[in-house]
Structure 1
């Protein structure tokens, strides 16, 4: 993980444990931002965590693209959906860029679906669909892990 000196870490995990969780966990990242009219907005995106940043992709016509062009500040959370609950939340800054060759999208399809051989992948990779890369640079990361207090709920 590259920019550790600029990221504030707190919570139960070390920076290396945070990185391990974020690279191994394949649930969507929940991203909160502001709309151009200053309302709050939240959505879920597939992500990969590399070089200390979250990398996502979405259609160029998605509302989030307009919202992030207006205000780049975001809050986010990556957490397990089943007990015992654990995860990482934080805040940072988002930046947008083109994903002309859909390389980011293809990496996400491989990460979440195991490949690009599906009707969903075919639809998302359509040459007629413009794709945007979203990068979130964290400023603060906070980790939590309720495994100990939820040990009666661990799945087999």
Structure 2
């Protein structure tokens, strides 16, 4: 069960995760104990964050060794808002390609671009990274930054 702290309740966090098309920053441990940070596209389904990546990606090996992660999904433009937390990742080879197809639709809105075609090519073997959050902390600086623009 996820513990929610910060500005938003569980429904507001869910709304943010469904609406925001910004990547997740995922922090994991390398086998030598040092930290590693990757940025991935995500989708939110039933309390779980799902990403897709190539089965040969370094992060997959790191997560097989240690599935505990920290994460951040936050805006890069004023007003700053977002979530951060920690949880555990499971890896599924069966769900990689279907999740990737949804992510291409979510982030690129079409599979017509050369990037989409490359990502969806048959040569790529994708896995699904399924992150179950243990703790989510939210923040929203809209009230204090609402009149400020980043342009």
Are 1:92 and 2:95 matched, yes or no?
no
SS of residue in 1 equivalent to 2:112: coil
| Structure 1 moving runs of 4+ over 4 Å | none
SS at match of 1:153: coil
TM-score, structure 1 normalization: 0.93
Structure 1 residue 40 corresponds to structure 2 residue 27: no
> RMSD of the TM alignment (CA)?
1.4
Cα distance per residue 1:85-139 (max 9 Å; x no partner): 0001000000101146711100000000002111111111111111111000000
Kept in 2: contact 1:100–1:130 (CA 8 A): no
Name the SS for the 1:137 alignment partner: strand
Structure 2 counterpart SS, 1:152: coil
What's 2:72 paired with? 77
Partner of 2:110: 115
8 Å CA contact retained: 2:96, 2:127: no
Residues 23 and 49 in structure 1, CA contact (< 8 A), matched pair in contact too:
yes
Structure 2-normalised TM-score?
Answer: 0.96
Structure 1 residue runs without a partner (length 5+): 1-5
What corresponds to 1:145 in structure 2? 140
CA distance in 1, matches of 2:40, 2:94: 15
Q: Is structure 2 residue 56 aligned with structure 1 residue 61?
A: yes
Task: Figure out how many residues of one structure are paired with residues of the other and give that number.
Answer: 151
